[in-house]
Amino acid sequence: MSVVVKPLAPKLGAEVTGFEMSKPLSDEDFAAVRRAFYEHGVIVIRAGAFDDDDHIRFSRRFGELKMLKFEAYLGERKPEIFVVSNIKKDDQYIGAHDAGMFWHSDGPFLNVPHGPSALHAYEVPMQDGRALGDTHFANTAAAYDALPDAMKKTIDGLQAVNSLARRFELAERSGIAGSSARAQAKTQEQEAIHPVVRIHPVNGRKCLYVSDGYTTQIVGWPEDEAKALIAELTQHVVKPEFCYTHSWRVHDLVMWDNCSTQHKATFDYKLPQRRLMHRTTLAG
């Protein structure tokens, strides 16, 4: 086995090296990568240059991939690929330029939330030799474990509403509005109810499943009490001790678990500083 796993932060993240993304992984090496992923929640793969076909082949080893329906700004791309970019063509963004403005996991507004996501960096904005556009990750399982017993007792069994509309409302308030995906988003599921504490389907850990970006209500609770609880939990999840911040390099592949982690982008760049990322997402 050639895979090498190096932890990146005390509670979250590992760098995985020792193979090439442009070549198929052996079963033994893939098993090591999979173990690292479900142990660390986020893996950073630095394994040489690769293309979308390699990205799709690797991601599919973990399970079924989502085939994307959005046509708003994706242009030429494979149906398994979601484009994240601030680049414009004919005055239109070629990808989701405002993805990740707020702490979230992917797809909680769906009845079947997304499985893991894997993001490949093709272009990374730079300034004075420093990469911009960092991505922050938080470990929702470690955050749950650190809660007082009284809070665990309070939230176990609760259900929360997660709404796509909240994501767009927050975007408009932030001044980064104008996502061309909003009109098409009306054609898909808009809202779903999920447990506040989700049980991870692979490792069985309890994970906090509320986020600033999508969670709007606790089922059966008065609105003011629900908002207070959501705020307390979402602020707890992103405490520094549960987090890892990734500084991107070209051809990094970062894969994260959408049950046991949340993430948030950094918007410290603008054109002509270009950012181009391709993402695959597994079905839930």
Q: What is the mean pLDDT of each run of 10 residues along the chain (284 residues)?
A: 91 95 94 96 95 97 86 69 91 86 92 95 96 98 98 97 78 56 54 96 95 93 96 97 97 97 95 96 92
Query: Which pair of structure tokens corresponds to residue 180?
Result: 């061309």
Residue pointed to by tokens 């997660």: 162
Domains annotated on the chain, with CATH: 4-281 (3.60.130.10)
Q: How many Cα atoms are found within 13 Å in the side-chain-facing hemisphere of 150? A: 0
Q: How many Cα atoms are found within 13 Å in the side-chain-facing hemisphere of 179? A: 28
Convert the pLDDT of each residue in 245-259 to its tens digit.
Answer: 999 999 999 999 999
Residue 180 pLDDT: 47
Residue of 102, 83, 101 whose CA lies nearest to 93:
83
Convert the pLDDT of each residue in 76-122 to its tens digit.
Answer: 778 899 999 999 988 888 888 888 889 999 999 999 999 999 999 99
Dist. CA 77–CA 81, nearest whole Å:
6
CB 212 within 8 A of CB 143: no
Dist. CA 177–CA 171, nearest whole Å:
5
**Helices (H), ranges, the chain:** 27-40, 52-60, 140-145, 149-155, 164-174, 182-185, 223-237
Convert the pLDDT of each residue in 210-226 to its tens digit.
Answer: 998 899 999 999 999 99
